[in-house]
Amino acid sequence: MNADNKLLSVNNVVKYFDISGGFLDQLRFKKGRISLEKTTVKAVNDVSFFVKKSEVLGVVGESGCGKSTIARVIMGLYPPNSGKIYYDGKRIDNLTHKQMLPFRKKMQMIFQDPYASLNPRKTVQQTLEEPLRFHHPESSNKEIKDKIEQVMEQVGVDPAWIKRYPHEFSGGQRQRISIARGLILDPEFIVADEPVSALDVSIQAQILNLLMKAGRERNLTYLFITHDLSVVRHISTRVAVMYLGTLCELGTAEVLFANPRHPYTKSLLSAIPVVGEKRAKHIKLKGEVPTPVELPTGCVFHGRCVYADERCRTEIPALQTLDSGTSVACHAVAENRTT
Amino acid sequence: MSHLLEIHDLEVKFALRYGDITAINGINFTLEKGEKLGLVGESGAGKSVTGFSIINLISKPGYISRGKIFFEGNEISSYPDEKMRTIRGNAISMIFQDPMMTLNPVFTVGFQMIETIRAHREISKDAAGKIALEKLKRVHIPSPEKRLDQYPHELSGGMRQRIIIAISLLTNPAIIIADEPTTALDVTIQAEIMDLLQELCESDNMALILITHDLGVVSQVTEKIAVMYAGKIIEYGSTDQVVTHPVHPYTEGLIKSIPGTMIKHGEDLVQIPGMMPTLTNIPPGCAFNPRCYLKNKICTEKTPNLKDVGQGVLVACHMKEQRI
């Protein structure tokens, strides 16, 4: 498992959420009979990928495509309905809470909204020392204090502000503190879920630079989730594009952005507004994203795809690796119908 | 007085317990028929307040403390509320960021559209319904007849924003003010909505004020751009010129800090140090001086005014005006 440098592997992960509600909400009246029916949101459907050591894997997609769900499944915040997750060769999706502890130290998460992800009643010091005291109960107060100061300096927050509360900081500063919390246990792997989406452009650049610097200095591996394609293009080694709970294309950032193959990726990339360029006609998709409650048969994208044919409507396409190294899940690409 | 809209030395204050704070600090700009202007800046720069003050929607404790707004030569900033209603939502429409908040969830789309028309024109419900249907067709909504009887929650985000645009078109306005119209939407939907706005402005010769923080969107849609910082316009000019050759250090930093424009993959982005001052705590002189790499003594003493630096670009910066 480790021979090819995989730090994390996600194999055929499926995650459904039951939203049917209580007993009465599940009652249906059909053909003169009363029956119970469950409603499930099919958030992630059979997704497989791996993350190599010290790379940045960007995951992009529109709202509701399952990118945050997959991140939470990896972190063990949601149990997957089926599928396996391996970290450094060891299966982690079926571990007990106690068995999971050593992995929690190595895997950390940074969330989108720095207003919601920091406890408003805890000072910066309390926020940062809690993980240390929990995972390293043997360390002395002095060690903890030194560690906190070192990490705060690294993320660019003055250690003199250690006794302050989150509300005394701006959005950008708060995000630095959340990053400090993510770094304080010296993790190997960080899942960053939209870490810059809530920030203004000039602050966004500061935080992206900080994440890249921390990545270089600490040899971190990132799973970077965002809907912002220019951010992903800038920082990712490889990029995974998701649509309606499935992975439709995965390749190195360079190849994927220069030569997108999946019809959805093409349309998505053509929609990015670029500063200083007049609108190049973007590829319009027909229709709207279907709900993940009733997934389309076959390829989930077929209803909006110009290349869709009978096979697309019935058979789910598998991810296939092309000569360029990019993997694409599309019958039309496999049959060379897209050119 | 030949401009469609003219903002003259506008100042907007908010009266708070600890004194007045200035949200807009003396801005000037004009808008011509069919012109598309982008108002860009970070949160708190005063771009939305500018939009609101044009149609006099500043609510208490905010008030226009100085300056005049002219629409088609009439000073609308002094209109009493009743008279303002003949302009607001009629000759000047506004589109807001969140389409779910703008539509009333308990009325059908058709009801809300007909109500809007009948607030401004004395026509029958049937005639108003016809106009509503026609406008829904213009915003390319699939099966428009069906939409009239639907409630907002039955529609997707992109569709709701199209309905909002259709509502803003009902009275054939001369100006549409769009306040972050696509921020809540996904990129593919954003591209469609922007295409639509552009198409409508061109076919109807409508003027557009596009308020956004997204320079990419502005550079694709608008002809003119005004960059705002701490309640002031700090750079104004043709969009192409400003985004390709920004003069003000703030505009320059803003454009260079966007990934993928001028920086190679994986390299550090240009970052503007610090953050925008809060309105209660604007530094003396040029408000940008604590973050500026060109900062000089004069920048902390005197507030720079907009000066022509050539190519029709106006810039408020002491250091740049000296150089040119």
Segment A6-58, tens digit of pLDDT = 899 999 999 999 888 888 888 888 788 888 888 888 999 999 999 999 999 99
Ranking B88-92, B99-103, B195-199 by mean pLDDT, the lowest is: B99-103
Q: What is the pLDDT of residue B262?
A: 59
CA distances from A101 to A6, A75, A104, A119 (A): 21, 11, 5, 22
Highest mean pLDDT pick, A273-282, B178-187, B229-238: B229-238
Residue A62 and residue B266: Cβ atoms within 8 Å? Answer: no
Q: What is the pLDDT of residue B37?
A: 96
Sign of the alpha-carbon dihedral angle for A283, A287, A288, A292: negative
User: Is the ipTM of this structure higher than 0.90?
Assistant: no
Mean pLDDT of chain A: 89
* Cα gap B68→A8, rounded to integer Å: 62
Cross-strand bridge partners of residue B207: B175
Segment B243-275, tens digit of pLDDT = 989 999 999 988 888 886 556 777 788 888 888
* Cα gap B216→B222, rounded to integer Å: 10
Segment B33-47, tens digit of pLDDT = 999 999 999 888 889
Smallest Cβ distance to B254: which of A201, A277, A288? A201
Mutation choice for B interface testing from A194, A202, A230 by most B CBs within 10 A? A202
Tokens in use for A276? 């200083």
Domain definitions of chain B by residue range = 5-91+171-323
Average pLDDT over residues B215-235: 92
Segment A248-279, tens digit of pLDDT = 999 999 999 999 999 999 999 888 887 776 66
Nearest to B70 by CA among B80, B58, B82, B79: B79
Beta strands A56-60 and A221-226 are parallel
Residue count of chain B, please give it.
324
Q: Please tell us whether the domain made up of B5-91+171-323 is placed in CATH 3.40.50.300.
A: yes
Smallest Cβ distance to A272: which of B187, B213, B219? B187
Task: Give kind and range of the element (H or E) at residue A57.
Answer: strand A56-60
CA distance A235 to chain B (A): 5
- Please, which pLDDT band fits residue B113 given cuts at 50, 70 and 90? very high
What is the percent of chain A where pLDDT is above 70? Answer: 97
Smallest Cβ distance to B259: which of A234, A270, A279? A234
Segment A173-187, tens digit of pLDDT = 999 999 999 999 999
Q: What is the pLDDT of residue A288?
A: 77
Predicted TM-score (pTM) of this structure? 0.85
Cross-strand bridge partners of residue A190: A108, A222
Residue with the two structure tokens 């609108």: A279
Instruction: Kindly identify which residue of chain B lies nearest to residue A264, measuring between CA atoms.
Output: B188
Segment A65-86, tens digit of pLDDT = 899 999 999 999 999 999 999 9
Q: How far apart are the first and last CA of chain A?
A: 37
Task: Give kind and range of the element (H or E) at residue A328.
Answer: strand A327-328
Whether residue B312 has pLDDT greater than 90 = no
Residue A233 and residue B243: Cβ atoms within 8 Å? Answer: no
- Please, which pLDDT band fits residue A295 given cuts at 50, 70 and 90? confident
Q: Where in chain A is the domain with CATH 3.40.50.300?
A: 6-21+38-236
CB B304 within 8 A of CB B316: yes
Chain B hits for A278, CB-CB cut-off 8 Å, are 219-220
Q: Does B143 lie at the interface with A, CB-CB under 8 angstroms?
A: no
Q: What is the pLDDT of residue A2?
A: 47
A285-295 per-residue burial string, b: 16 or more CB within 10 A, e: under 16: beebbeebeeb
Whether residue A281 has pLDDT greater than 90 = no
| Topology of the domain comprising A6-21+38-236 | Rossmann fold (3.40.50)
Average pLDDT over residues B212-222: 89
* Cα gap B113→B122, rounded to integer Å: 14
